[in-house]
Amino acid sequence: MPGEHTALAALCAAPFPPNPTTLKRGSMATVTDPVCGMTVDESAATGSASYEGATYYFCSSACQERFEAEPEMYASGDR
């Protein structure tokens, strides 16, 4: 008896476009406070400091002061 399953194969040929919206993560940039490890909104950060060409953001002025006292200690930690 003849088995005809070509109709199912046609369904599998439907295009499957990539979803570009998953690649864009909004316009808000978040950074990590190197002192306390908190995630900080760049625009909401209390302060920022530059060290060796990189800019660091802080959740509070207390964290910024601690960083500026010993920047090499906090900047060396990769996380």
Residue ranges that bind Zn ion, judged by CB under 5 A: 33, 35-36, 38, 59, 63
Rounded to the nearest whole angstrom, what is the least distance from the CB of residue 60 to Zn ion in the complex? 5
SS3 21: helix
Rounded to the nearest whole angstrom, what is the least distance from the CB of residue 21 to Zn ion in the complex? 32
How far apart (Å, rounded) are the C-alpha atoms in residues 22 and 62? 36
Residue 54 burial (CB count, 10 A): 9
Looking at the Cβ atoms of 35 and 50, the one nearer to Zn ion is 35
DSSP 10: H
Looking at the Cβ atoms of 22 and 57, the one nearer to Zn ion is 57
Looking at the Cβ atoms of 4 and 78, the one nearer to Zn ion is 78
The residues facing 43 across adjacent strands are none
